[in-house]
Amino acid sequence: MSALHFSRDHEWIAVEDGVGTVGITDYAQEQLGDVVYVELPEVGRRVERGGEAAVVESVKAASEVYAPVSGEVVAVNEALVKQPALVNQSPLGEGWFMKLRLSRLAEIDDLMDAEGYATHVAGL
In a domain, 105, yes or no: yes
CATH number, domain containing residue 33: 2.40.50.100
**Domain range enclosing 41:** 4-118
In a domain, 16, yes or no: yes
The C-alpha angle with vertex 84 and arms to 81 and 85, in degrees rounded to 5, equals: 155
Q: Is the CA virtual torsion 47, 48, 51, 56 positive or negative?
A: positive
In a domain, 50, yes or no: yes
Q: Domains in the chain: how many in total?
A: 1
Residues 6+ apart with CB under 8 A from 46: 70, 71, 72, 73, 103
pLDDT on residue 27: 97
Q: Phi-psi category of 17—alpha, beta or left, where left has phi over 0 and alpha has psi -120 to 50?
A: left
In a domain, 58, yes or no: yes
Q: How far apart are CA 111 and CA 57, in angstroms?
A: 25
Tell me: the pLDDT tens digits for 71-102?
Answer: 999 999 999 999 999 999 999 999 999 999 99
In a domain, 123, yes or no: no
Tell me: the pLDDT tens digits for 11-65?
Answer: 999 999 999 999 999 999 999 999 999 999 999 999 999 999 999 999 998 999 9
In a domain, 84, yes or no: yes
CB atoms under 10 Å from CB of 117, counted, come to 20
In a domain, 112, yes or no: yes
The C-alpha angle with vertex 8 and arms to 6 and 9, in degrees rounded to 5, equals: 100
In a domain, 93, yes or no: yes
